[in-house]
Structure 1
Amino acid sequence: MPLGGPRHRTILTHLLLTPGRVVPVDALIDSVWNEHPPATARTQVSICIAALRKAFKNAGCPEEIIVTAHPGYLLRLGRHTLDTAEFTELVTQAETAVREDRLPEASRAYADALRLWRGRPLAGVIGLRVEDEAQRLEELRLNAFEDATAVRLQLGDHQRVLPDLAAMVRRHPLRERARHQLITAQYRSGRRAEALETFQEGRRSLMEELGIEPGPALTELRDAILQDERSLSVPDPDGEPMPRPSPVGDPLELPPDVPSLAGRKEELALLGELLDTGGTTRAPATGLITGVAGVGKTGLAIHWAHSVADLFPDGQLFADLHGYDEQLEPTTADEVLSRFLRSLSVPAGQIPTEPEERAALYRSLLADRRVLVVLDNVRSYAQVRPLLPSGGGCCVLVTGREQIPELVAWPPRAWVRLGPLSTYEAVELLSGIVGEGRVTAEPVAAATLAELCDLLPLALRIAGARLASKPHWTVEHLARRLSDERLRLDELSQGESQVRASFALTYRGLSAQTARLYRRLGLLDVPDFSSWVAAALLDTDLYTGEQLIEELVDAQFLDVIGQDLSGHTRYRFQNLLRLFARERAQEESPEERHAVLDRVFRTYLFLATEAHRRSFGGDFSIIHGTVVPHRLPPELTDTLLARPLDWLEAERLSLSAVVARAAEAGMDEFAWDLTLCVLVLFETRNYLDDWRECAERSLTAARAAGNARGEAAMLHALGALEMRQRDFTTAYGLFTRALELHERAGEEHGGALVLRNMAMIDEMRGELDTAMRYSTAALEVFRAVGDRSSEAHVLNNMAQICLDRDDVDDAQRLSEESVRVSAAIGEGGARSLALGTHRLARVHLARQEYDLAEEALVRVIHIVRGQLDMLGLAHGLLALGEARMGAGRWEQARATLRQALEVAALVGSALVEGRIKLALGMAGRQCGDSQEARRNYLGALANFERIGVEAWIQRTRAALAELPDEN
């Protein structure tokens, strides 16, 4: 069936790789264009989907195969078949037949599966995910080939497998299992010399490519061939393989393998390093698996142990040391030694009574043997140390919830820090428990359920068991039940496996102070936090707070998410652990909980206030509520706020969450004050959604409390947001109401801040007399209260009004005064200094002093880039482009203006974009490119008409009229 171009093939491939599951549009965009999609990417994906649907229909498929499912598309197989699914089913049948000793049937199923392959999978389709999937599929084929060959060798089919095996080893010389099978087949076919040569070739390849010796299985096979061991001979005619004689005392203690282990490929590969025998050490290979309760440490350990058990012919020892068992005391190493010695055929009467003698006998017995030792649920090094063999042929795998410092210092050859599954793996695990049909029928609900279980195998198995026991429930029904945070832990704590009980075991092992920090963190509904929050929760110093928070990390109760912009480590809860912490918070009295939250909230307010003050060079351009901030020591404050905007950026989501929490709790004074403090970040970094959400929540709280001053402050904040988005009518209405409330409350400073913004709108509307009157009134108040930043700002606005009046001399005087006031503020006056310098550059432009204008604008751009002020950068680049146009450097101006347009697109200001496009049109015309000029003029006109700025609309229409006719 013809599919169209490469994009069509790529999109269809991604749908085929996850049949019955939703593939988001963003994932399809990434697969087609990597990290550089065009602006029309979503539209192009939609066009490709339509073309594929048409191709299926033309091919005679009456039903719709590709269906739309938010947030993307889903490939519905229906009555169609997929070769990968058929291959998987046949391999599964073969594996089942092997387990049930139906080897001829297994061989046929493997053969049918391998006949499905035609060349390299996914050939002709590119992309990182496709390449990964092609590699995975190829690995599945190779594994199936080796499994099929193993069955044929057991059936005595050694001569007929030789050609295929030889070709396989030539293509994949480093696959030791295939080489092992080829050597076995050659030996059984009477080709003993060839078998030994095949071994030597493999050894050379491994040494040259990887620098390692062949693994123990190949080495032992070589030795067995040299000695012509009977175990290598052909199985009997009934197809039964020769049984390997098992020496007396070989323990086989591993629990049953975990059914439906999902994912964990990287972790299993890391554990595979325990089998690396290329080193010269005689110490046993030691592995460590750590992770939070319920993450699947035991399951991973047992599954891996079963997969490598054949490499440890002298046995496998297993012990659960009950380090986190509520009902039992932790098992001592002495107790485990006694049992292990009995497993190793030491008569009970000969087991020493002294622990040191037991350990010595244990080490002696394992000195020259290859034994795998799995120690599960270990809590301390004392439980492990006597159980470590001395022989290099042994391997020890330890699992525990916390890192074991002494063992980490060893260090382990493989340390797996086990985290949650991916969403795909979690859904796969659910499918294995509930049944693929029920899960694939509700892909979105299944993904939601997996996320509600924090992608933890324990929680997923409990949820899957509940669904399996209730066939009348849909996946969505259980997801709805779990979505209620008050009931989630109850839903996942039924029957023998209980998430709450699993967490409680670790919680009870915490020190009193660490447990107190954990439950108090549960009081905060913030997405993440730094160690200063821990100090505030406990009213202690930063060092102690950091030490205790790291203890929670070691206990797997918190995740580290990395360093924030301010250089501090940030932590977060997994959702289930956050809910458990919130439950544990009830152990403290209501008075204690209130005092803790009050102190932490007031610390947030102190740091945000101080960050604002340092950003402006003083307590400028803001009014405050009546809440008294909780001050931190100066040295700690300096550490946290070394770069105030970076601290605000790091805490942005948490600050927004605290505003929401305070507003809901009726803490109106706190909420509106904190919102005003954070506006410097929202404005500079263009976080308009956060700006609106915080201001609206705080406005609701202020109105509910009858707080006129707080209501006015938030109306002003929302008006400033509407002004930022060029909705001047709405903004002016909000400012008018805010001014009335400030006047009623006697708040002169707040009223002056409103008047300043009203004057800016009047200036843009051309109402210059009103704008100057409001600006003059605001200036008097700012000078009276000492708000130097706002003074500089309003002087800058007055300079623009003078420019509009063609009063260049007064504009220069006011601009220079604004620059002087800003410079006197110091480092914190950088923002207002950039504004004043920009206005002074505009004066130079009006005087046609283009070199002076460019010099000033370069200073402006340097300042705003350092603050990541994208709006300021767009304005600065626009003015710089205009200066270069005035100087006649048209091509240089076009390059600058195109850069300005890219920055403006990040800001979303229709006015700035329109002005840049208008300037680009002028530059394009001067460069003789009338088509580009017209395109930019029309774009500018659309921008200006959208926001209703009449003066700019008229300028643009006049420019369009001057262009030559298109004909």
Structure 2
Amino acid sequence: MPSGLRIDLLGPLTVRSGDAEISVGPLRQQAMFAVLALNAGRVLTPEQLLDLVWDDDPPPTGIKVVPTYVYRIRKSLPPGSRLERTTAGYVLRLDSDVLDLERFETMVREAGRNDDPEQALALHDQALALFRGQPLSGLPGQYLAGQRRRIAERREKALGTRIQLQLAAGRHVEAIPELIGLVADHPFDERFAVLLMNALAGSGRQAEALETYQRVRRTLVEQLGIEPGPELRAAQQTLLRADAPTPTARNELPYGGAAFAGRAAELAEVVAALRTPTGSAPPVLAIDGMAGIGKTALAVQAGHRLASQYPDGQLFVDLHGHTPGREPLGTEQAVDHLLRGIGVPADQVPGCLEDRLSMWRSKSSRLRLLVVLDNAPDAATVRPLLPGASECAVLVTSRRLLVELDAKCRLGLGLLAMEDATALLSEIAGPDRGDEAAVQELAEHCGRLPLALRIAGARLRHRPSWSIQHLNERLRGRRRLRELDGDANGVRSAFAVSYEHLPQDQRRLFACLGLFPGKDFDVKAAAALAGIDGPTAEALLEHLVDASLLLAPRPGRYEFHDLLRGYAVEVADDDAAVGRLVEHYLAVAGVEPDLTWADLERSNLLAALEVAEDAAAVRLALVLAPYLHGRSRLDELDVVLTAGLAAAERRQDPEGQARLLFLRGNFGQFRCGPQKGLCDLRRAAELAPEDAPALRARILGSLGYTQGTLDPSSDHAELLRTSLRLAQLAGDRRAIVETLSRLAALAIRQHGFAMALEYYERALKLAREIGDERLEPELLNGIAVCRLAEDDPLPALEATRAAQRLAAVHELDFSLSYALCHQGEAHRRLGRNKLAVEIHEQALKLAIGNCTHLDEVDARLHLGRSLHSAGRTEAAVEQFDLALRLSEDRGHALGVVEALTGLADCTRLATRADRLLRQAHSQAKIAGYSALATRLANRLDHPSANHG
């Protein structure tokens, strides 16, 4: 079994090898893999697999589909994985630590055997933490549905045991929030109701425990027509006989809410940090985050869990640092509240603020208090309110990062995980309001922000006729903030308060950033938008991060939360900002953008193109197109060229049109065949100004090459000579190199290898004089082709190695693919067939990644030849078949000829070999490849050599 393989079933199916996630294919294929994993070590017959995966609705091919699916799964797994075929069927063999379900079962068993309650509790926590959502989520089939129910039952049993251990350890307050949710989710499961009653009673909340009994009883009677069972009735009788404890301390913590999802790790961190005070000063924990992120909810939940640790009281003060329509609470008002909270009568409170603060510190020094200071405006407000004893603890929440506050721990809250966001929505809106995809879409519309999720859920609950799909429609587009802003506590209102508290320079930058068209940005882009210098922009950006109005996902990069971006767009008002940004991108990109920078900013550059004025859009498209082609971003390349051409047409810019048409035609022929680019190149030649000889040289060179490829009898030679003359007239040595390269390529097509070699060597010499290494790989590959045609593999090998090195250095994937093809061919000629196959497999993988069909055809043809030479005829036929199909689909005549010839070489039937060769000969004649047609005719004249 490969090291680091992990298969997780306790949630959506996930397969990992080390840090890399592995896809095991489409949904039904995932289902088969899950079935094999659940039955690891057990042989399943093909019939069993068919039944377990497809139930009563097998595919038309029936059992024949099983080997195909198993083969695909095996190919997707890392080397060393043991998915084996036996005489009886298939078996997946796994090591003991691979499957999360097995780890869960092992930990639960160990917990059951452990006599130490704390260790048993820790093992249950570890086991339950393995669940990432609904087990086997989304996978089809009755068998997996049954397994899903079985695993859920095991989880609930382990959950119940863990809570019993918590209660036995006296952690009643900790258990209550989770039990409230469990009772709501399982209204007919009396086990959880009993546990909740015991937890409430154990924390002094006997009345609530008895109310829980009455509520569960009503549910059972009204919906099932039965009375509670003996265990639940016994729990009630025990409570009725007990004397209710009288609380002696003040608990001001607000109601924790019935709906509280996620935050398990954060809650555990807060509780652990404040559970046991140590040191000479009270531990202070600060929670910060953007408006609506759930800071107060987390603090309150933590406070309830910690209540038993602080028996002298739990005090809560809302400092109103960011409350719409209210000024922040002053220190005098806040300390008055705290003094009342510890029982100081009003007539004993000193008149002087300093005396009040002194009294607070003195009296709190003899107590064990938990103090929650919510919604703090700044550190200066918080510091005087800190109690005077190490036995107290303080929880502070604020939208700002309170850097000046001496906090033991700081916790920055992020967005809810998707499964927690959807759970919160379902809890508030009610179950069965829409399918899983619609609920997830709604969670994304709400930005997975708890405040927005609560508002959306409440709207659905109070509008039973609304579906989730309907609310999703309302939240699409620019109306989203309005839909999520019902009153003073809405999302937009919360953002507005944060914005209005900013200084003027921070407000202006925030508003300018609302005009940024992409997702994340750096300091220089922000400075360009606002028209300020870099150091000033960086300082302001960091202030916005501290104010929780911007995110900093990684050093030097910034972005908005999705909903905050919408608010920034609303307040944006600088019409010149986008123009400054586009000019900044053009200045940095230059003629050839730095690849590392361009890769990082690619999505932003594409977004800037959409909002740029026409003149800038043309310039930006001309910069982006060659970069995207070199990076094999072909869909994006089409978008950029289309947008640039539309802008050039709107501003009646014939030269801009000519340049963009040239790029589209030139790239198109290499991606999809010469016919693809012919019309664009002809139109580019018509539009190119006479006083732009360098541009005309490049256009005519490409047009001549394209016409020569399609029709060797055309006037392409004249076009190429004109291209060469214009390039020399313009002094454009790069254009001269390109034209010489095209002349060489056309010479190769007619088997004029000596002439082609001369062109390539002239071009290579000139490229080295220019000092542009990016031009060299294509020329070195051409030289290798000529040397191979002369049956001189050693110089060819040397040329391809040089091409490979330069292509790798400059990240020229197309040239690298060709270099590997010719390098493998050189090794094949030298009799190194195994090495040739390995290199050609690398070339094919790279070509497929490049998304260029002609590259893929070329790589498959080379791989087919090397496989045939290695004696792997069946595999070679597969490659030639695929090359033939691709070539026919794309109208690639030369690919058709070479694939047919390869198939003829592989067949052992003389009649079939002759038929394939005749097809190839016919295609070569039609396409005008006279030299190739002659060579094939010679083979047909010697039929004894035409079969393998």
TM over 0.5: yes
**Equivalent residues in 2 for 1:292-441, closer than 5 Å:** 292-407=290-405, 410-413=406-409, 415-438=410-433, 441=434
Question: Deviation of residue 879 (structure 1)?
Answer: 1.1
Alignment of 1:490-889 (within 5 A): 490-562=482-554, 569-586=556-573, 593-608=574-589, 610=590, 612-613=591-592, 644-662=594-612, 667-743=613-689, 747-765=692-710, 767=712, 770-826=715-771, 829-889=772-832
- Structure 1 letter corresponding to 2:894: A
CA shift for structure 1 position 296? 1.3
Residue in 2 aligned with 1:255?
254
Q: Mapping of 1:437-516 within 5 angstroms?
A: 437-438=432-433, 441-485=434-478, 487-516=479-508
Distance, in Å, in 1 between the alignment partners of 2:531 and 2:579 is 12
SS in 2 for 1:965: coil
- Map of 1:944 onto structure 2: 887
Q: Which amino acid aligns with 1:735?
A: L
Q: CA contact under 8 A between 1:121 and 1:134: conserved in structure 2? A: no
- Distance in 2, matches of 1:236 and 1:430, equals 37
Contact (CA 8 Å) 1:235, 1:242: kept in 2 or not?
Answer: no
Pick aligned residue for 2:161 from 129, 132, 142: 142
Residues 471-501 of structure 1: CA distance to partner in whole angstroms, max 9, x if unpaired? 222222222111131x222222223422221
Letter of the structure 2 residue corresponding to residue 503 of structure 1 = F
Give 1:235 shift. Answer: 13
Q: Which amino acid aligns with 2:595?
A: L
TM-score (norm 1): 0.71
2:838 match: secondary structure: helix
What is the alpha-carbon distance in structure 1 between the residues aligned to residue 402 and residue 322 of structure 2?
A: 14
Instruction: Kindly state the Cα deviation for residue 656 of structure 1 after the two structures are TM-superposed.
Output: 0.8
Residues 15 and 23 in structure 2, CA contact (< 8 A), matched pair in contact too: no
Count of aligned pairs between the two proteins: 754
1:852-884 CA distance string (max 9 Å, x none):
322222222222223333222211111110111
Residue of 881, 899, 905 corresponding to 2:848: 905
One-letter code aligned to 2:704: A
Verify the 8 A CA contact 1:684 1:867 in the aligned structure 2.
Answer: no
Q: For residues 110-129 of structure 1, give each alpha carbon's deviation from its aligned partner in whole angstroms, at most 9, with x where no partner exists.
A: xxxx9xx99x999xx999x9
What is the CA-CA distance between 1:241 and the residue it aligns to? 4.1
Displacement after TM superposition at 1:902 (Å): 1.4
Q: Could you report, residue by residue, the CA deviation over 1:189-214 in whole angstroms, capped at 9, with x for unpaired residues?
A: xxxxxxxxxxxxxxxxxxxxxxxxxx
**Distance between the aligned counterparts of 1:950 and 1:475, measured in 2?**
53
Range with bigger deviation, 312-321 or 493-502: 493-502
User: In 2, are the aligned partners of 1:274 and 1:286 still within 8 Å (CA)?
Assistant: no
Secondary structure at the residue paired with 2:666? Answer: helix
Task: Give CA-to-partner distance per residue, 1:643-681, whole Å, 9 cap, x none.
Answer: x1111111111111111123xxxx322212201101232
CA distance in 1, matches of 2:417, 2:272: 23
CA contact (8 A) 1:376 1:398 kept: yes
Aligned-partner residue type, residue 273 of structure 1: A
User: Relative to 1, partners in 2 of residues 1:139 and 1:658: Cα closer, same or farther, differing over 3 Å?
Assistant: farther
Query: Contact conserved, 1:882 with 1:893, CA < 8 A, in 2?
Result: yes
Deviations along 1:261-320, one digit per CA (max 9) or x if unpaired, are 12111221221331353x853332221111111111111111221122122111101111
Secondary structure in 1 aligned to 2:571?
helix
Instruction: Name the aligned partner's letter for residue 870 of structure 2.
Output: C
- Per the alignment, do residues 37 and 351 of structure 1 end up closer, same or farther by CA in structure 2, a change over 3 Å counting? closer
The structure-2 alpha-carbon separation of the partners of 1:371 and 1:134, relative to structure 1 and needing over 3 Å to count, comes to farther
CA contact (8 A) 1:375 1:398 kept: yes
**2:286 maps to which residue?**
288
Distance 2:57 2:17 in 1: 24
SS in 1 for 2:554: strand
Q: Deviations over 1:437-495 (max 9, x none)?
A: 22xx343332222211211111122222222222222222222111131x222222223
The 5-angstrom pairing of residues 887-926 of structure 1 reads 887-926=830-869
Structure 2 unaligned residues grouped into runs of 5+: 1-6, 36-49, 59-123, 140-147, 174-194, 203-234, 911-948
Aligned to 1:266: 265
Contact 2:324-2:488 at 8 Å conserved across structures: no
For the 8 Å contact 1:274–1:395, the answer to whether it is kept is no
**Gaps in structure 1 of 5+ consecutive residues:** 1-9, 18-26, 59-113, 155-176, 185-233, 564-568, 587-592, 616-643
The aligned amino acid for 1:527 is K
- Cα distance 1:836–1:444, how it changes in 2: closer, same or farther (>3 A)? same
Residues 64-97 of structure 1 deviation map (CA, whole Å, 9 limit, x = unaligned): xxxxxxxxxxxxxxxxxxxxxxxxxxxxxxxxxx
Q: Distance in 2 between matches of 1:739 and 1:809?
A: 31
Other-structure match for 1:44:
29
Shift in Å at residue 594 of structure 1? 2.8
**Residues in 2 aligned to 1:134 and 1:790: alpha-carbon distance in whole angstroms:** 72
State the alpha-carbon separation in 2 of the partners of residues 509 and 710 from structure 1.
48
Output the TM-score relative to the length of structure 2: 0.73
Q: Deviations over 1:585-611 (max 9, x none)?
A: 24xxxxxx3322222222222222x1x
Q: Is the 8 A contact 1:792 1:836 kept in 2?
A: no
Which residue number corresponds to residue 89 of structure 1? Answer: none
What is the CA distance between 1:45 and its match in structure 2? 4.2
Q: 1:241 to 1:307 in 2, by over 3 A?
A: farther
Q: Deviations over 1:721-780 (max 9, x none)?
A: 43242143232122212222225x754433333223223434544627744433332233
Query: Residue type matched to 1:599 in 2?
Result: R
Q: Secondary structure in 1 aligned to 2:685?
A: helix
Identical amino acids, percent of aligned pairs: 30
Aligned-pair CA distance for 1:133: 8.6
Please state how far the C-alpha of 1:842 moved relative to its aligned partner: 2.8
Aligned to 2:223: none
Q: Is the 8 A contact 2:817 2:844 kept in 1?
A: yes
1:961/1:848 CA distance change after superposition, 3 Å:
closer
Residue type of the alignment partner of 2:558: Y
SS at match of 1:437: coil
Q: Distance in 1 between matches of 2:697 and 2:172?
A: 91
The answer to whether the Cα contact below 8 Å between 2:675 and 2:710 also exists between their aligned partners in 1 is: no
SS of 2:404 mapped into structure 1: helix
1:953 alignment partner, SS class: helix
User: 1:594 is paired with a residue of what secondary structure?
Assistant: coil
| SS of equivalent residue, structure 2 residue 363 | helix
Q: How many angstroms apart in 2 are the aligned matches of 1:536 and 1:38?
A: 41
TM superposition shift of 1:398: 0.7
Q: For 1:767, what is the secondary structure of its paired residue?
A: coil
